Structure formats: structure tokens, C-alpha cells
Amino acid sequence: MQTGRYLLQRARSFKYAFQGIIAFLRSEPHARIHAVATMLVAAAGVYCGLSANQWISILIVTGMVWITEMLNTVVEKIMDHLSPEYHPRVKWIKDVAAGAVLVSALVAAITGAVIFIPILC
């Protein structure tokens, strides 16, 4: 009985997490751009016949970009809710969160270049 309730609760948590991903994709134009970019990179990876290690690298950096973008969006929404007026501390928080996205995007771009440029050139 306890196990059944535990599994039901876990299934609900998965459902809420999937609802979160759908909400992110629906409400954020950035998310749709990431989705298109992810599909293009996956198609290029299949076309170029990447090795397992190359796929793992692409998966890790792609996941990093998605995760930082989602958390940055969450930070923005929290701050807009808690403090809609201009505040230097809010600027610091939002800028640092945006910086995390930039770091992950740069790492992803460099990784993509290291993998794809030798294959395509």
C-alpha cells in the first residue's frame, strides 16, 4: 500500500515536470529557438555519423544550455513576481543568471565547432 502511494506520487511528480517543460516551450520564444537548434544539431550529428563520444559531448552541452535557459527563465519570473520595480540587486541577480546561459552557450558553440569543423572542412 505504502509502495503504491509512493509510486503514484512519483508518477505525479513526473507529470508536473513534463507540464513544466511544455509550459516553458509554449511561453518562451527562446525555448522554441533552442528546440529548432537542438533538432538541427541532431540532424547534423546523424548526417556526419558522429562517434559515441562525440554524441555524449553534444548531449552534455545541449543539456547544459537547456537547463541554464530554463533556470534563468525561472529566476526572471521569480524576480518579476517578487520585485517588479527596478532594483540594483534584481539587476545583479538577473544579469548573473543570464551570464550562466551565456557561459553554457559559449561552451556549446566551442564544443560544436571542435566536433563539426574537422568533419565538414
Instruction: Say if CB 101 and CB 73 are below 8 A apart.
Output: no
Candidates 11, 86, 117, 120; binder of ligand ATP (CB under 6 A) is: 86
- 75 lies in the binding site for ligand ATP (CB under 6 A): no
Only one residue has cell 543539456, namely: 63
Cell numbers representing residue 90 in the block: 534584481
- 95 lies in the binding site for ligand ATP (CB under 6 A): yes
- 90 lies in the binding site for ligand ATP (CB under 6 A): yes
Angle of helix 88-120 versus helix 29-48 axis, rounded to 10: 20
Q: Which residue, 107, 39, 37, 103, is CA-closest to 72? A: 103
Q: What is the largest CA-CA distance in the chain?
A: 61
As measured in angstroms, the least distance from the Cβ of 76 to ligand ATP is: 4
Candidates 31, 54, 57, 76; binder of ligand ATP (CB under 6 A) is: 76
Given the rule CB under 6 A, which of 1-9, 18-26, 39-47, 94-102 is the region that contacts ligand ATP? Answer: 94-102
Half-sphere exposure of 16 (CA within 13 A, CB side): 6
Given the rule CB under 6 A, which of 9-17, 33-41, 80-88, 107-115 is the region that contacts ligand ATP? Answer: 80-88
> What is the binding site for ligand ATP (CB under 6 A)?
76, 83, 86-87, 90-91, 94-95, 98
